[in-house]
Amino acid sequence: MNSTLKRTAVACLAMFALLMVNVNYLQAVRAEGLSTDARNTRNFYDRYAVERGRITAGGKVIAQSVETDSTEFKFVRKYPEGELYAHITGFFSPESASAIEGTHNRLLDGSSSDLLLRRSIDLFTGEPTKGANVEVTIDPKVQEAAYDALRESGKRGAVVALEPKTGAILAMVSLPTYDPAELSLTDKSKVFPRYDELAKQKNQPLLNRTIDRTYPPGSTFKVVTMAAYLEDDTSRGPQTTVEAPQRLPLPNTNISLPNYGGAACGSGQVTLVFALERSCNTPFGKMGIELGYDKVQEQSVKFGMGEELAIPMGVAKSDFGPREDEAAVAMASIGQRSNQMTPLQMAMISAGIANEGTVMKPYLVKKVTDSKGDSIEDAEQEELSEAVSTETAAKLRDMMVSVVSNGTANRAQVPGVQVAGKTGTAETADGQPPHAWFISFAPAEDPKVALAVIVESGAANVGAEATGGGTAAPIGKAVMEAVLNK
């Protein structure tokens, strides 16, 4: 072989080697990036080539794919009662997905490794690939009751209801809401401007207020302070007497903590149950000072605050707040300092007391099945923490029942049912009217539902009707009745 042929052969081998390196680089190193690149039009059209699985709640379809007449897009996503379930289903847009549509995307579109057997069978039988179906724990009647009651308030807010013994989420409502169908079209020129418009709205309809935003908890946090106080000394109970001055001097300051509206709290010496019924500030501020930061913080953690939760959507962390002086601890003990809670966290506190002191891990997905109905994934109930002893939970339950029967939450009473609850009115730092809170569970003796309600700036007026008991408690009542009257 002459030198010219040798050089040609070497050059050809080098080019083949470079070609193989490039192929492997594209397929192994850059494959994920190219697949997800927004400029990849093949990926864009592939999103609509497979029939995504359904999302259902209590047998009701809340998201599904429908076949089209288009030559470009075989299937499009539809959302019956979209606004009612928007923050649960999420949307499936040309380049992204949210909520369940996002967390379970690979199951819904059939590409998950969990569906390998199903895909293999379909390939052998010649059937088209279909995605898995996701059933959520939401009860449609409870969801509708929560949505209607909160909407009637005319305010922004959130409602979340749990099954105390399992952690299953029965309702998850955030208002204002949006129509996921508007963000699930195939036309990017319509979807992207609409998303930007919703994202810029002051009311933030895309925000799931039940899990994505934290709020000062106001007086609903007093059940946590009370729990710490009872756990600190097991001889204490509902009839234990504590000091309740009209104003509590805060250590190392020239200010004092008043009760709501500057009112007196009984005679200045009251029982614990009376203090909770009337939601007096001064005895709880004094309890916080006596307990100290560590004990109240520790109790907060036992109820789940600071946990990395996913339901499967990620949940914003709730927090008692940083270590500060005694004056700050007094304020935090009544829910008015650095405390920040999601509505889900407050529902977990209520559920933990209802469940004899055990907090169950909340979850939203009940089961996942393939296109033929065979089970792929079933929810497993999981204990998150032991928040308080059974004895302390019973004492808290009795006192919360008295709050509804004799105290600030009397508008949450359900005929023939013992309801336990706690109201809250939380001052805000931005100069807006206070938020109205209510946490509750029922029936007290055998709880079927625990919940939290927040009405943003729901205490805009003066008087009892503007507090959590006047604004948020009736919403909680509607949700409890929906569960109990099934």
Residues that are catalytic: 219
**How far, in Å, CA of 59 to CA of 270, rounded?**
51
Contact 443, 417 (CB under 8 A): yes
Q: At 251, which amino acid appears?
A: P
With 0-12 / 13-18 / 19 or more C-beta atoms within 10 angstroms meaning exposed / middle / buried, residue 10 is exposed
Residue 362 neighbours by CB under 8 Å, 6+ apart: 162, 167, 168, 169, 309, 311, 344, 347, 348
Give me 118's structure tokens: 């199903």
In sequence order, what are the beta bridge partners of 172? 160
Phi, psi for 191 (deg, rounded to 5): -70, -50
Closest CA to 115 of 37, 201, 181, 51: 51
Closest CA to 350 of 164, 480, 165: 164
**How far, in Å, CA of 191 to CA of 396, rounded?**
49
Cβ atoms within 10 Å of 55's Cβ, excluding its own: 27
Residue 266 neighbours by CB under 8 Å, 6+ apart: 244, 274, 278, 280
Give me 106's structure tokens: 């690979």
Tell me the HSE value of 124 on the side-chain side, using a 13 A CA sphere.
6
Phi, psi for 334 (deg, rounded to 5): -110, 15
**How far, in Å, CA of 350 to CA of 223, rounded?**
9
Closest CA to 460 of 255, 238, 153, 162: 153
**How far, in Å, CA of 351 to CA of 451, rounded?**
7
